[in-house]
Amino acid sequence: MGLENFTEITWTMAAQVVVLGFIGGVLSGFIGSGGAFFMTPGMMNLGVLGPVAVASNITHKFGKAMVGSRRHADLGNVDKKLSLFMLITAAIGIRIAVTVMEFFFEKGDEHSTTRGAGADLYISIVFVVILSVVSIAMLRDIIKSRKNQEKGPSTKIVDFLNRIKLHPMIYFPVADVRVSLWVILICGLATGYLAGTIGVGGFVGVPVMIYVFGVSATVAAGSELYLAMFMGAFGAINYALVGLVDIRLTLLLFTGSLFGIFIGAYGTKVVNEVLIRLVTSLIILLCVISRLIAIPAYLQELGYLKISPDHNEYFNSASKFLLYLSGITGVLLILYNVFKAYFQRKKIQASLITDMPQTAVREFSGKAT
């Protein structure tokens, strides 16, 4: 590993990373996930090697989760026991992810014309597969709830696991669930592996806690953030060990994202719940398509696709355009609602005093005199 892994950061690129961080932060505050689904491919589009983008983002996630999980813990939404049990195998998952990444990074370049193309392809494929499933499941959920069919997640898996009772069963008091140790370890492994590979452990960790363990959505989000703090730390350590963390990118991401998070979180107060879920799933879907468009370029670089290398620039530009389009549209929609509510707040005549009470003030005043 050496300096060749790191991209030169110009002023323009620095500004773009800050914007990526800001968009990722707004989406993160709004959706409640880490925002890596936007920031990681965004950095790859800017020419950052995939593994470096993942490593810098996971380091960013570590610092951010450390600051953010305190608030969730104060609200009693964190089942620390559950998070720590998951961490046992999540750490192994991250280690596997880093090792596989190293393999693709070092060995995958043997037939490649461009450094890191093997790892970039591997990250992109995992990204597309996992996030396609997530976004389609979310859209399906919205359509179902609009049709007034199922009102919540299916409990089939929870019921099935409760019936077979794979001992030892462990009780988690805050989440108020009893889950088999083996199930937790397998799910922890998957969460850690995905967090270490594409930086989006939350997209797997939260649904796993809800659908497989039967944890409520609030506790799942809080516990995942607590887990993310440790996974982020472990991921950062592992990637720092192989010299892939670009601290400059982490710093630039912080500069944008920590502002964005506040705006995104404010957005959740003023935007309708269904709209939040719809915006989230569409943004993720567009990010998936954006990454899908970039895949032919990696295949060409690795010699698996016989097309002119000149076309790679088009693929990359189209991918970048779609990613920015999804992020910027989503953020503008959120910002529009946030500022609309912000300015309305000043105009609003908050207290409506009815006729019946012509009274409302007088009755109270009457008693005062």
214 binds other proteins (CB under 8 A): yes
List the x/- string, 123-152, binding to other proteins by CB under 8 A.
----------------------x-----xx
Among 143, 166, 240, 332, binds other proteins (CB under 8 A): 240
Quick one: how far is CA 356 from the chain centroid? 50
Tokens of 32: 């409640």
Choice between 102 and 301, CB closer to other proteins: 102
Tokens of 39: 């920031």
203 binds other proteins (CB under 8 A): no
Q: Which amino acid does the sequence have at 24? A: G
Task: Tell which positions 9-28 bind other proteins, by CB under 8 A.
Answer: 9, 14
> What does the DSSP 8-state code read for residue 213?
I
Choice between 44 and 206, CB closer to other proteins: 206
Kindly list the distances between the CA atom of residue 103 and the CA atoms of 53, 59, 96, 107, in Å, as whole numbers in the listed order.
16, 21, 10, 5
Q: Which amino acid does the sequence have at 83? A: S
Task: Tell which positions 215-234 bind other proteins, by CB under 8 A.
Answer: 215-217, 233
> Segment contacting other proteins (CB under 8 A): 37-45, 94-102, 263-271, 311-319?
263-271
CB-count exposure of residue 309 (10 Å: 0-12, 13-18, 19+): exposed
**Alpha-carbon torsion (192, 20, 320, 308), positive or negative:** negative
> Segment contacting other proteins (CB under 8 A): 81-89, 102-110, 183-191, 350-358?
350-358
344 binds other proteins (CB under 8 A): yes
> What does the DSSP 8-state code read for residue 172?
E
Kindly list the distances between the CA atom of residue 173 and the CA atoms of 57, 76, 92, 219, in Å, as whole numbers in the listed order.
32, 11, 25, 11
273 binds other proteins (CB under 8 A): yes
The residues near 128 (Cβ < 8 Å, ≥ 6 apart) are 288, 291, 292, 295
Element (H, E) at 171: strand 169-172
Choice between 10 and 308, CB closer to other proteins: 10
Among 184, 198, 263, 286, binds other proteins (CB under 8 A): 263
Among 139, 170, 270, 276, binds other proteins (CB under 8 A): 270
- Shortest distance, position 15 Cβ to other proteins, whole Å: 13
How far is residue 224's CA from residue 33's CA, in Å, rounded to a whole number? 9
> Segment contacting other proteins (CB under 8 A): 84-92, 112-120, 246-254, 315-323?
246-254
How far is residue 26's CA from residue 137's CA, in Å, rounded to a whole number? 22
Among 15, 47, 76, 303, binds other proteins (CB under 8 A): 76
> Segment contacting other proteins (CB under 8 A): 54-62, 93-101, 123-131, 286-294?
54-62
Among 38, 62, 85, 193, binds other proteins (CB under 8 A): 62
176 binds other proteins (CB under 8 A): yes
164 binds other proteins (CB under 8 A): no
